[in-house]
């Protein structure tokens, strides 16, 4: 997915069990959709909390924040309650939406099985690429307008970059 592409519509459960669709969300204004690899991990927590802390700034610009990961809805619910998030966290447990947006790191289960088989053979090759095996999606943020057009794409492993760049871009548009 690149800037200028039409974002695919999807329907996913949020951390409260409600089904959310991108089409419904963009009807209320721009959506800042951020993918993160794992709920409650240190960098993902910092990223999600930064989006939470800048909530008033996003609201002033009419933008909605939406987090999405391959964690289960239960794990998302625990993460949301633990950190008092005021925006939806969506569960893409089968990584279908991550695949559509081009942020999936590959078939991590196949890599896990390959690693397990290599470990059984006591090969040192199994220790390579641990980040790719453990993290199912690339940390990526998309600013999507009312017509589902991707206006900005941010890719960085630094937690605070995503919310700051999205906010700067929305301010520029205003």
17-22: Cβ within 8 A, 24+ apart = 17/73, 17/77, 18/88, 20/66, 20/88, 20/90, 22/144, 22/148
Catalytic annotation present for 49: no
Q: What is the dihedral of CA 148, 153, 158, 163, to 10 degrees?
A: -50
What does the alpha-carbon distance between residue 115 and residue 59 come to, in Å, rounded to a whole number?
Answer: 45
Please state, as a whole number, how many other Cβ atoms lie within 10 Å of the Cβ of residue 37: 22
Give every CB contact of residue 86 below 8 A, 6+ residues apart in sequence: 52, 55
Candidates 22, 26, 31, 44; catalytic one: 44
Residues with catalytic function: 44
């Amino acid at each position: 997915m690149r800037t200028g592409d039409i974002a695919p519509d999807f329907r996913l459960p949020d951390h409260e069990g409600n089904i959310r669709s991108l089409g419904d969300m963009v009807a209320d204004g721009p959506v800042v959709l951020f993918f993160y690899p794992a709920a409650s991990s240190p960098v993902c927590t910092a990223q999600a909390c930064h989006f939470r802390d800048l909530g008033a700034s996003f609201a002033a610009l009419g933008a909605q924040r939406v987090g999405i990961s391959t964690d289960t809805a239960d794990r998302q619910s625990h993460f949301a309650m633990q950190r008092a998030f005021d925006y939806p966290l969506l569960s893409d447990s089968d990584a279908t939406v991550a695949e559509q947006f081009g942020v999936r790191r590959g078939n991590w289960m196949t890599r896990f099985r390959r690693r397990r088989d290599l470990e059984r053979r006591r090969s040192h090759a199994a220790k390579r690429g641990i980040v790719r095996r453990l993290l199912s999606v690339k940390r990526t943020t998309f600013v999507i307008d009312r017509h589902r057009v991707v206006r900005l794409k941010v890719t960085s492993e630094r937690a605070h970059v995503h919310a700051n760049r999205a906010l700067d871009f929305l301010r520029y548009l205003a």
